[in-house]
Amino acid sequence: MTLEELETLTSGSQELVAILEKYNCLTGPEFNIDQIKAAITEMAGACIQNNEECAVFLQWMEEHEFYTSPASTKFHGNFKGGLAVHSLMVTYQALKLAPAIFADWIKSKTGNKFTFTAEDIFVSCISHDFCKAGFYSTSYKNTKDVFGNWTKTPYYTVKTDVRNLGHGNESMLLLLEAMPSYIKKRPVLEAVSRHMGFSDLTDTEKMNYSNFLSNPLVLLIQLADQSASGWYDY
């Protein structure tokens, strides 16, 4: 990655951050999903170079419950629309952190091995949890309210007919379904596939995991994901 490419990534990241901050849609505890959707749509249009794939990418989210699914059953984003909120928060964290992380990385011995754009950061962050879109169903349990009366309380569970090849890998495959040109962007696919770190790997995958750490986008998405879910109350 050259200094010129770093400058382009930095300016592109700052442009996307400015778009997101204009919407001011990540301040909870209540979230306006229409504003979340509008921010993602404008950011996608500003950075994704392939207009046809941009349209398919946005349409994929509309058709696969991305804007209505929770991000988990009981942890961060365990509410309707939580997946979109979490994904955009991860994007925000990554775009803010990227200039400093990439400026440091290009000084390393692998600094000329890859190159990245703001589009790569945006796409990998928004898609990192695509496997959760349409992944959950709503069930009900009997609980007592403050007056001691029994009531039906909704909660999320994983659909029983789900077929999933693994958290990161499934999201990577769904990204390729929407944007097939990314088959040529292995470093981006690695970032989506390995965004959970060691917690989502088989024993065989763990043996060669250190090879992925030369890819700064892997570490950036991991940090953005952890900080988004750990630092913010949503």
Reported as a single tens digit per residue, the pLDDT across 44-94 is 999 999 999 999 999 999 999 999 998 766 666 678 889 999 999 999 999
Q: What φ, ψ does residue 140 adopt, rounded to 5°?
A: -135, 145
Query: What is the 8-class DSSP label of residue 139?
Result: E
Residues 3-16: pLDDT tens digits? 999 999 999 999 99
Alpha carbon distance 129, 67 (integer Å): 12
The SS3 of residue 145 is coil
Give the 3-state secondary structure of residue 95: helix
Q: How far is the C-alpha of 215 from the C-alpha of 168, rounded, in Å?
A: 16
Note whether 222 and 97 are within 8 A (CB): no
Q: What are the CB-based long-range contacts (under 8 Å, 24+) for 133-136?
A: 133/61, 133/64, 133/65, 133/66, 133/69, 133/83, 133/174, 134/64, 134/65, 134/69, 134/159, 135/69, 135/159, 135/162, 135/164, 136/69, 136/70, 136/73
Helix (H) or strand (E) run with residue 136 in it: strand 136-144
Average pLDDT of the chain is: 86
pLDDT reported for residue 176: 96
Q: In this predicted structure, what is the pLDDT of residue 194?
A: 87
